[in-house]
Structure 1
Amino acid sequence: MTPDELISHYSLQPIPREGGLFHRTWTGPPTPDGRPSGTAIVVLLQEDDYSALHRLPHDETWHHYLGAPLEMLLLAEDGSTRTEVLGPDLLGGQAVQLTVPARTWMGARPVGGWTFFGCTMAPGFTYEEYEHGELGLLTERYPSQAERIAGLCRR
């Protein structure tokens, strides 16, 4: 399958601010406060695109489906940082699934080509809770990752 076929098959649309193309595949029933009980999306990142650094108030599970590996930068509230790679090479240290803890800054880009992945949340995603990463604040908080942060922030 090619990126163009994925775009057509899923009617993928741009993700506001974050980057990539997506389609929501599932929305759970509403909770008493009106938010969805859960959500699932599929996402395509082309070779020259990335998922900008952002954070959410709830855990989010990422799933690798097709294409190149996806390198993720994770910046924790305690100041620690780590890199994880989603992809098919399990024996080489890649994972097909990763849960990002709530309030962790996350950003990702394909490693050598395009990648197709999914994200699942419960309770579900709402745009009101999305927090976009700001370059100055993140490089001040995580100076050891300044170069990578700059490559994953949209101005």
Structure 2
Amino acid sequence: MGVMGETADEVAARYGLRPLPVEGGLFRRTWAGAEGEDGRPAGSAIIVLLSTAAGDFSALHRLPVDEVWHFYRGDPLELLLLAPDGSDRLVLLGEGGEVQYVVPAGTWMGARVVGGGRHGWALFGTTMAPGFVPRDYEGGDAEELCARYPGRAALIRELCRADGAGPMPEDVDGAFEGPASPADRPLGGGPDA
């Protein structure tokens, strides 16, 4: 099948994606900058695939560093943002919306593919500087977030996992391993690029 008619499984295979623990979706780390003395890379980038399948969403979480979301292709994403000041925003990424959006540090974020589209999936990426380390991830608790943001309670419940309020595992079988720089990857457009 051609690129425009690819299924979610074909996209996952094309890019070598695997399950993202706790948060959800399929992903691959595509870049991590040089590691600092604190063990944190200077920056990092991942690609992520979400689909319209039941239970496939980016669970509400927050990070201590700004995160830039980049939309690549597929159906649009709804990105729910819950700010520390109590305000909220629903951002559309993709056709008819933004192609890039910066989520400020400390903001709760969660996303899902907008239903009824042509593809049934969305491919996007996120970039952080300094880079992501698993201890950064703080999963959201639905009841706590609903109490703080009652106007978004229904969507909050849809974007929280019963087991997702905990931290990201430090050792996720190399899931965050990846080439340290573009020079470490072969040239070309395949999964190893």
Normalising to structure 1: TM-score of the pair?
A: 0.95
Please report how far the alpha carbon of residue 41 of structure 1 lies from its aligned counterpart in structure 2 after TM superposition. Answer: 0.4
Partner of 1:24: 29
Please report how far the alpha carbon of residue 129 of structure 1 lies from its aligned counterpart in structure 2 after TM superposition. Answer: 1.1
Partner of 1:37: 42
What is the SS of the residue equivalent to 1:58?
coil
- Paired residue type of 2:155: R
1:11 equivalenced with 2:10 (yes/no):
no
Higher strand share: 1
Normalising to structure 2: TM-score of the pair?
A: 0.76
Distance 1:143 1:111 in 2: 22
Partner of 2:111: 108
Task: Describe the superposition over 1:1-58 as per-residue Cα deviations: whole angstroms up to 9, x where unpaired.
Answer: 2222221122111011111000000010012212111100000001121100000000
Paired-residue identity, %: 58
Equivalent of residue 57 in structure 1, options 47, 64, 72? 64
Q: Size of the alignment, in residue pairs? A: 151
Partner of 1:96: 99
Provide structure 1 residue ranges, at least 5 long, that are not aligned to the other structure.
none
Provide structure 2 residue ranges, at least 5 long, that are not aligned to the other structure.
163-193
What is the SS of the residue equivalent to 1:136?
helix
Rg: which structure is higher? 2
Partner of 1:74: 81
Distance 1:52 1:34 in 2: 26
